Amino acid sequence: MKELKDFADEINKCSKCGLCQSVCPVYKITGNDCAVSKGKFIMLEGVLKGDLKLNKNIEKYLDMCMRCGKCKDFCPSNIDVCEIFNTAKHQYAKDTFQGKFEKFLQSKAVFGNLIKFFKIFHCFNNKKKLSQNHNDKKTKLIYFKGCVNEIFPTSANALKKIFKNLDTEIIEKDFDCCGLPFLSSGNLERFEEVKKHNLEQLDCEYDYILTDCASCESTLKSYGELKVINAAEFLAMQNIKFKFKKPLKVTFHKPCHLENINFIKKLFEKCENIEYIEMKDFDACCGFAGTFVVKNPKLSLEISKQKALNIINTKADYVLTACPACILGIKEGFLALGKKNTKLPKISNIIDFLAQADNITQ
């Protein structure tokens, strides 16, 4: 397992140019140098030189980051900021009471069993199996549901409704969490544990790992050379049509972890009676960002409110996205704006929305 000192060269690559400030959503609100990569690297350089202690104060700033990766995409030195911040969190958290308590909550015995409980509960309540008949000619898709879908399994049923129209076989496996919450809280041991478990589940032939959660998608891709695809992106590549009787206006919020966005317009072209309206800053964060919302509730709310305003200004009937956590972030924004007399768009995962089409044909 890597330690902070293993990233000394990467951290030194930061030229302090400050370009990350122009894209960091947290810096834009706080104006605080320590909230963005540049400031965090200055502090971590101090830690590596022995001038500063990796203490609670520095941890506070490590937590003041949504791991959205926007600064990484913009950084001329191409520094993998998230990996460095997660390693620093790991180094700090492993010896503190709070770190040990978080580890306990995220352990297999607590978090793992909670997800297991929901899996068993939904198995009893939903006798419909997602898996379809085995057929060698079909495109084989291993479905990675993700934790939120295990607890509120709406998209899983929507997925089944859509994919039965395609020449695909959907395979279900006993996956654990993708590990993103563990990574961002510095619980790297638990991350390695779930990664190992999930990789062991890939014991059959498949064409793609399919997911409807952008966060799961990006974390699975970080495991190594896996062919992971978002369900909406897969649909955009298929010969499929979604016919809606009633004309609807929709807008789309791009989750930070959704790498590819080019498929969105292509997918809406397959929808009859759907008008797509691009919102201002459609790729700006929703503010939720896992534990960020718990550790920085006020900041999270400010970011969510801005997102909610941009959505409302489109006057769309629906705001669609591809990540269950973003749905919560957008809901948080609508609530915080408190616009009682304004007609708010419905919020939906894009897969759930497409499944509502009056007719789905090839």
Stretch that binds ligand SF4, among 19-27, 126-134, 217-225, 334-342 (CB under 6 A): 19-27
One-letter amino acid identity for 87? T
Query: With CB under 6 A, what is the number of residues at the site for ligand SF4?
Result: 27
Q: Which is nearer to ligand SF4, 20 or 210 (CB)?
A: 20
CA 91 to chain centre: 24
Expressed in angstroms, the distance from the first to the final Cα of the chain is 48
User: By CB under 6 A, is residue 307 in contact with ligand SF4?
Assistant: no
Rounded to the nearest whole angstrom, what is the least distance from the CB of residue 6 to ligand SF4 in the complex? 18
User: By CB under 6 A, is residue 31 in contact with ligand SF4?
Assistant: no
Rounded to the nearest whole angstrom, what is the least distance from the CB of residue 2 to ligand SF4 in the complex? 18
Structure-block tokens of residue 44: 């971590």
Among 3, 5, 12, 16, binds ligand SF4 (CB under 6 A): 16
Stretch that binds ligand SF4, among 35-43, 53-61, 154-162, 333-341 (CB under 6 A): 35-43
Torsion of CA 82, 88, 90, 93, to 10 degrees: -130
Contacts 24+ apart (CB under 8 A), 120-126: 122/150, 122/153, 126/153, 126/157
Rounded to the nearest whole angstrom, what is the least distance from the CB of residue 91 to ligand SF4 in the complex? 18
Rounded to the nearest whole angstrom, what is the least distance from the CB of residue 310 to ligand SF4 in the complex? 18
- In this structure, how many other beta carbons lie within 10 angstroms of the beta carbon of residue 46? 14
Q: Which is nearer to ligand SF4, 82 or 216 (CB)?
A: 82
Q: In the 8-state DSSP scheme, what is residue 108?
A: I
CA 86 to chain centre: 16
CA atoms within a 13 Å half-sphere pointing along the CA-CB vector of 300: 22
Among 3, 6, 15, 80, binds ligand SF4 (CB under 6 A): 15
User: By CB under 6 A, is residue 18 in contact with ligand SF4?
Assistant: yes
3-state secondary structure of 356: coil
User: By CB under 6 A, is residue 286 in contact with ligand SF4?
Assistant: no
User: Which of positions 58-87 make contact with ligand SF4 (CB under 6 A)?
Assistant: 65-71, 75-77, 79, 81
Rounded to the nearest whole angstrom, what is the least distance from the CB of residue 183 to ligand SF4 in the complex? 13
Sheet of strand 139-144: strand arrangement: 168-172, 139-144, 208-211, 228-230
Stretch that binds ligand SF4, among 24-32, 121-129, 174-182, 328-336 (CB under 6 A): 24-32
User: By CB under 6 A, is residue 26 in contact with ligand SF4?
Assistant: yes
Among 4, 11, 34, 37, binds ligand SF4 (CB under 6 A): 37
DSSP 257-288: T----THHHHHHHTEEEEEE-PPTTTTS--S-
Separation CA 295–CA 154 (nearest Å): 28
Residue with tokens 């896992």: 290
Burial 173-191 (b: 16+ CB within 10 A, else e): bebbbbbbbbbbbbbbebb
Stretch that binds ligand SF4, among 15-23, 142-150, 259-267, 350-358 (CB under 6 A): 15-23
User: By CB under 6 A, is residue 14 in contact with ligand SF4?
Assistant: yes
Contacts of 5 (CB under 8 A, 6+ apart): 48
User: By CB under 6 A, is residue 303 in contact with ligand SF4?
Assistant: no
Rounded to the nearest whole angstrom, what is the least distance from the CB of residue 103 to ligand SF4 in the complex? 23
**Interface residues with ligand SF4 (CB under 6 A)?**
14-20, 23-26, 36-38, 41, 65-71, 75-77, 79, 81
